[in-house]
Structure 1
Amino acid sequence: MNDSGTRPRRLLTVILVLIAVLVAAALAVVFTRGEPKLLDAGTPAGIVQRYTAAIIDGDEDAAAEYLTEAARKRCDNLEQPYSDNVRVSLLSTVEREDSADVKVLIVTSSDGGPFGASEYETEEVFDLVKEDGRWLVESAPWQFALCTNKAAAP
């Protein structure tokens, strides 16, 4: 029997099968990543995550549920919050008995410009207070400020 011709073919077949398995596994990982894991809604970071997600989704009513009464009435920032091409990443949380600071990285990207796509990133802080045992946003960075008092808006 002549094994010299079948051995390279088997080796090639095994290599091709391994490559196919690796490609399938990589595709499975990419397509099953889905949404980020929700943080605990009882934590300051969890509240900021839900609040910013609501703003990004354009759901002002849902976002307003995470604001203090004073923050709902405050309209000193008259610019409309934006939600296009923005990512928010948690950097740190400082939690005290009745207040907390949640530091985030906000990355805004744009497709325009003479050199193509660009990104701008800034570190910002959400201030939260605990009211009736529940964390609420007292102040948000300007990118995520929400004016629910439509009478005061221009």
Structure 2
Amino acid sequence: MTDTDRPGPRPAGPDAATRGPNRVLLLALAAVALVATLAGVVIAQRSGPGYDPATPEGTVQAYLDAVLHGDADRAAGLLAPGSPCAVADLDRAALPVDVRVTLREVRVTGDTARVDVDAALPSGDLFGGTETFEQHVLRLARHDGTWLLTGEPWPAAGCGTAG
């Protein structure tokens, strides 16, 4: 008797030989989809470092966050007394939702500070392949123990002019 003549278990149906590999492939695809979904959630919830709001960099972060979220009243509350900018100016100071701002340098001299930031602004093209990079300086002064922005802080421009 040859090996092919021996009695033994027979497949239950025409697809029984491929059922095992298909299940493995299905489980592998499900695992990849789960990992991709989790990675997307983590990336979407990722944010930069939270700076102490009592510092110049924390004040700049709070100001830019307010501008980014369209909260001109909150942004205006971070401006020094006598600033040429008002809430209406900050209403016009819009940033694209997907702008990336990176703290480059902070210099504090007594009651004044300079915060240098880099901004990566999306091009708006369909594929999102290009960005415009800008450097900005925001100046602050300490008033009653609180850091406040002076002058016309980016992205505000043309403060006090009708528009």
TM-score (structure 2 length as normaliser): 0.65
Runs of 4+ with >4 A deviation? 16-27
Contact in 2 for aligned 1:106/1:121 (Cα 8 Å): yes
Aligned length: 142
Residue of structure 2 in register with 1:4 after alignment: none
Deviations 1:1-50 (A, max 9, x none): xxxxxxxx9xxx7xx98997687556434413415242110111111011
Shift in alpha-carbon separation, 1:135–1:116, aligned structure 2, 3 A: closer
- How many angstroms does 1:153 deviate by? 2.3
Q: Which runs of 5+ in 1 are unaligned?
A: 1-8
The SS at the match of 1:143 is coil
1:36-55 matches, cutoff 5 A: 36=47, 37-55=49-67
CA RMSD of aligned residues (A): 3.6
Larger-Rg structure? 2
Identity of aligned residues (%): 30
The SS at the match of 2:155 is helix
Residue of structure 1 in register with 2:68 after alignment: 56
Which of 27, 41, 46 is matched with 1:31 structurally? 41
- How many angstroms does 1:111 deviate by? 2.4
TM-score (structure 1 length as normaliser): 0.68
Shift in alpha-carbon separation, 1:92–1:105, aligned structure 2, 3 A: same
Deviations 1:102-147 (A, max 9, x none): 110011112249x974311011110010000000011355424484
